[in-house]
Structures are given as C-alpha cells and as structure tokens.
Amino acid sequence: MKRILGIDPGLLHTGWSIIDCAGSTRTYVASGVILPPTNIPLSERLAFIFNHVNDLCKKFNPTECSIEVIFVNKNGKTTLLLGHARAAAITAVAVEKIPVFEYEPNKVKKALTGIGHADKDQIYKMLTILLPAAHPKTPDESDAIAIALTHANTSRF
C-alpha cells in the first residue's frame, strides 16, 4: 500500500490531502488547508507552512508526496513568492525522507477529467465520483486531492 500526501502550495492557502492506494483501489483519508496568518513577515509564513506540512508527514506517515508545479504568472513577483511557499512544503517533506513527485496543472486536469484545461467545477465533480468520501471545502483542498489522485493513477507507469 502507498500513502500519498498531495500538496497544492500557496502563501495564503496551501491545500493538502492524504489518500491510500492499494492496487487499483483509492481511499480518501483526510484533507484540509494550511492558512498562514497574513499579518506576519514572509519568513514566518514560510516557517508556518514548513511546520504544518512537516506535522502532516509525522501524523499520517505518507510514503510519497505529489505537489503541483508552479505555472509562470504574468506577475513575476507572484510566481517567485509562490515558489517560496512550494519550497517550504517540499523541504518539510524532504527532511522526512519522503520522495516528492511533481505534476503540472494541465497534467493533473487531464489525468482526472481527460481535458487539460478543465475548470474547478469539473475537477470537483470527478473527485466526488472517484473518492465519494472526499468533500473538499475549498478549491485548494480539491486541487490537493486531485494532485494526490494524479500521482496514484500515473506513478505505476
């Protein structure tokens, strides 16, 4: 059995999910969103993300992690800041010696819906079909589940 931690990184909202995989069976375990306070310095927000992701690793003991690759925004500063949040999450997983796998947003969408430019509603609907126990409350949480499912469905090839 594999236990996958899926991460949708962000400075304001970092979505996370845990799913178990055994053969072709996928089981939803847990998911949520890490919400760093917005009124603290960047360094403290990054530490907040790091600590929470590291706590998830210790609590759920994932065997693998899948995380979304950053797409380049029109605003370079935004892309750079998102990269910081992503690095904090990856480092939190790496210090626990958990392998990290990266997926581009269009590949996640295509793996779940068959359409590389699917919208958030299409992703959500597929998640409820594939993992009926999952009830994500935010797009970040939904994306984290989708990233974990993508890894579960493509990593064996």
Q: Catalytic: which of 44, 55, 64, 68? A: 68
pLDDT at residue 157 in the model: 43
**68 carries an active-site annotation:** yes
The pTM of this model reads 0.94
* Active-site residue (options: 20, 64, 140, 141): 140
Mean pLDDT (the chain, rounded): 92
Q: Tokens in use for 155?
A: 């990593």
Quick one: pLDDT at residue 13? 95
Domain encompassing residue 126: 2-154
What confidence score (pLDDT) does residue 156 get?
58
* Nearest-angstrom CA–CA distance, 59 and 55: 6
Provide the domain count of the chain. 1
Active site residue 140: yes
Active site residue 20: no
pLDDT for residue 72: 65
Q: Which of 8, 20, 141, 143 is catalytic?
A: 8
Residues of the chain with pLDDT under 50: 157
Neighbours of 60 (CB within 10 A): 16
> Are the C-beta atoms of residues 66 and 79 closer than 8 Å to each other?
no
Phi, psi (deg, nearest 5) at residue 63: -95, -20
**In CATH, what number is assigned to the domain containing residue 10?**
3.30.420.10
